[in-house]
Amino acid sequence: MTQDKSMNQIQEALGQGLKIGSQKEELERMVNDRRGIRKKLEQTEKFVSDQDL
C-alpha cells in the first residue's frame, strides 16, 4: 500500500516537473518574442530618424 502511494507521489512530481519545463519553454519563447519586437522597434526608430522628417 505505501509503495503504491510513493509511486503515485513520484509520478505526480514527474508530471509537475514536465509542466514546469513546458511553462519555462513558453516563457523563454515570450521573452524572445519581446526581444524581437524591441529590435524591430529600434530599427524603425533609426529608419525614421534617418529620414529627416
Confidence of residue 53 (pLDDT cuts 50, 70, 90): low
Cell numbers standing for residue 42: 529600434
Residue 15's φ and ψ, nearest 5 degrees, are -60, -45
Predicted pLDDT at 48? 86
Predicted pLDDT at 47? 87
Q: Distances from the Cα of 1 to the Cαs of 4, 5, 10, 14, 15, in angstroms? A: 5, 6, 14, 20, 21
Number of residues written out for the chain: 53
For the chain, give every domain's residue range.
1-53
What global pTM score does this model have? 0.54
Instruction: Please determine, for residue 52, whether its predicted confidence score (pLDDT) is greater than 80.
Output: no
Tens digit of each residue's pLDDT (9 = 90 or more) over 2-50 = 889 999 999 999 989 889 989 999 999 999 999 999 999 999 988 888 8
Rounded CA gap, 30 and 23, in Å? 11
